[in-house]
Amino acid sequence: MSSNPDGVPRRSFRQRALPVITKLLHGSAPFISTFLLIHLTAPMLANLGGSSLASQTLLLGREYYQTDFGEKYLLLGPLAVHSLSGIVKRVLSPSKAPPRPWTSLLALTGYANMIFFLPHFMTHRVHPMNPAAPIHAVGPSELDFEFVKYGLANWPWTSWLLYGGLVVSVLAHAVDGDRLLFNTYFGETMGRIKAAARKRLLAIGLGLVAVPVLAGVFVMSREPLMTLSSTAERFRASFIESPFYRI
């Protein structure tokens, strides 16, 4: 480490960059948590009112995260910042002092989220917007939980694997990440959440959120399809754009 004329050691690029990257990593997390709270409320409510109530809630929630501004700056932007910050932080961190082991729950679920999110986003957001025949750009009002039900009815194993994997990995990552954020910013004043409490927190998080979400998906999977045959053909064309649904 070199020194400036005043004799004060100059910090290396790594030493200057890592705190900024950490702030970006932590600062993007609340935006993602807000999206998850809104997005996962819809399938949870299917336990009370089936796909009808879930679809109504889904369409209302899109007013937050699927507008021109919201999707770019409240969802995709924070997701990109969070993912890239985590990767860059691991690359820049000294080998003797990595952020955490590759095998830690936070790291494993973070990489699992990247794997599960891409096919989910492509299947439910990108492919349905294809204006070409036979999809003809499935509109937001048509892209409700009937679309999800169609996938569950025709590709049950693939759909359950992708939905279940994404929900469990996202919530496990969120619970463990929230514990880290709490300890970082409130630990000194409010008391740290010890590692011994991790399993209990995970059980609570998965029990209160993941189980109701997947139970709601199960409820909807047992309902009959309520979509026109012409719309169902467009749904099918959209699904098979993904290689996961050609198996």
DSSP 12: P
pLDDT at 4 over 80: no
Query: Whole-angstrom Cα distance, residue 143 to residue 124?
Result: 8
Closest C-alpha to 244, from 160, 140, 146? 160
Contact between 81 and 29 under an 8 Å Cβ cutoff? The reply is: no
Residues linked to residue 3 through DSSP beta bridges, in sequence order? 9
Domain 13-245 annotated CATH 1.20.1300: yes
The ranges assigned to domains in the chain are 13-245
pLDDT top residue among 235 and 93: 235
pLDDT of residue 205: 94
DSSP 136: -
Residue pLDDT, tens place only, 47-100: 999 999 999 999 999 999 999 999 999 999 999 999 999 999 999 998 887 788
Using the structure block, give the residue that is written with the tokens 């909807």: 220
pLDDT at 226 over 60: yes
Cα separations in angstroms, 149 against 10, 104, 146, 160, 193: 59, 35, 5, 11, 40
Encode 129-161: b = buried (16+ Cβ within 10 Å), e = exposed: ebeeeebbebeeeebbbbbbbbbbebbeebbbe
3-state secondary structure of 9: strand
pLDDT of residue 6: 59
- Please compute the mean of the pLDDT values over residues 168-185 and round it to a whole number: 96
pTM of the predicted protein model: 0.92
